Homo-oligomer: A and B are copies of this chain.
Amino acid sequence: KHILTLPGDGVGPEIMTGAKSVLEKIADDFNHEFTFEDGLIGGAAYDASGTPLDDGTLSRAKNADAILLGAVGGPKWDTVEKTLRPEQGLLKIRKELGLFANLRPIKVFDRLIPASPLKETIVGGTDILFVRELTGGLYFGKPSERRDGGNSVVDTLAYTKEEIERIVEYGFQAAKLRGNKLTSVDKANVLESSRMWREIVDEKSAAYPEVEVEHALVDSTAMKLITNPNDFDVVVTENLFGDILSDEASVITGSIGLLPSASLNSSGFGLYEPVHGSAPDIAGKGIVNPLAMILSAAMMLKYSFHLSEEAEAIEAAVDSALKDGIHTSDLDFEGGRTVSTEEMIGTVISYIK
């Protein structure tokens, strides 16, 4: 399997090293061959070639079996012209590769419950899978422009029926593999796109009688994620709603340094990246938490390569390391031991069975 690694900016390179070492260990133990090719994205790509994602990288991405991405962005590129900013590289690769299904599992690790901003009784047991639409909606709709000589502005929330159908379908499939509950989030009391979304969910639900479907408004969901996070199983929603709600949900776990994500196209090809950003303030210090990137690599094994046993070996190793109280400095652990990025990576590798 050939993997394109795009470390990106900030802490990206440090965490990517971790993911690669862990994958090499898996290759050895389970008799696989993974080959890696490094590419540039984001600010790093801009610095090298004046664009946050060049065509060469894009075509290498298309030819790879999967992509691992670190993180993009940082204050260094704040003054760059907007179409060339680091984030544009990320938006472009998602769009060009048709990575419409963004999966963001939000799981509370028992040892981290005390670090959650929420009360332990509320957050304990939370286990949500966000299925966020990633290549449509308000992020990509046209027109998105100034008008009347700069006196007005529009952005567009646009969807085709097919775009909504495939992500909703994905939500139902995911719910079937988990707790059989699907919460579809919209703003149907205001938006026409949400009313169409709701209709499509209702249509599709006939084919999934075992899945309990709930329609919820985006504002109510923002409340319920705080008061009753345990009520959610799979949440399917529009691009921007998913951005806001999955980020909100991520902090209730007590560490976004642990949360992976997958962005998939219709043939299961995917890009895997941590939910946290490039954290330029701690970049290069050897202290970043590599676990979200390592768990993203595990998602890659599972979703793109169908190597579930191998993915679980990584997840179990991360779990054991945390249970033994070993953690990087971003985590607050009672009776734990703070280690460097390198030691954390080493620990996970040594725990892989």
Contacts and interface: CB of A to CB of B under 8 A. Distances in A.
Given A82-B195, A138-B191, A251-B223, A152 B158 contact: yes
A204 interface: no
Contact of A218 (B85, B91, B244): B244
Contacts of A152: 158-161
Given A219-B243, A226-B117, A244-B222, A190 B87 contact: yes
Nearest to A247: B219
A256 B193 CA distance: 29
A153 interface: yes
A153 B193 contact: yes
A104 B114 CA distance: 31
Interface in A77-108: 82, 85, 87, 91
Contacts of A247: 219-220, 222-223
Interface in A189-228: 189-193, 195-196, 218-220, 222-223, 225-227
Interface in A246-263: 247-248, 250-252, 256
Contacts of A31: none
A151 B157 contact: no
Interface stretch (A140-148, A303-311, A319-327, A345-353): A140-148
B193 A155 contact: yes
A254 to B, nearest CB: 10
A157 B157 contact: yes
A37 B93 CA distance: 59
Contacts of A223: 247-248, 250-251, 256
B117 A191 contact: no
A75 to B, nearest CB: 12
A109 interface: no
A215 to B, nearest CB: 11
A87 B156 contact: no
A139 interface: yes
A53 interface: no
A189 B244 contact: no
Interface in A40-96: 73, 82, 85, 87, 91
Nearest to A148: B160
Contacts of A119: 117-119
A227 B251 contact: yes
A276 to B, nearest CB: 11
Contacts of A244: 218-219, 222, 244
14 contacts: A117-B119, A118-B119, A138-B157, A138-B191, A151-B161, A152-B158, A153-B158, A153-B196, A154-B157, A155-B192, A187-B240, A223-B248, A223-B251, A226-B226
- A-B residue pairs, 10 tightest by C-beta: A222-B248, A219-B247, A155-B157, A152-B160, A223-B251, A153-B196, A87-B189, A153-B193, A154-B158, A144-B192
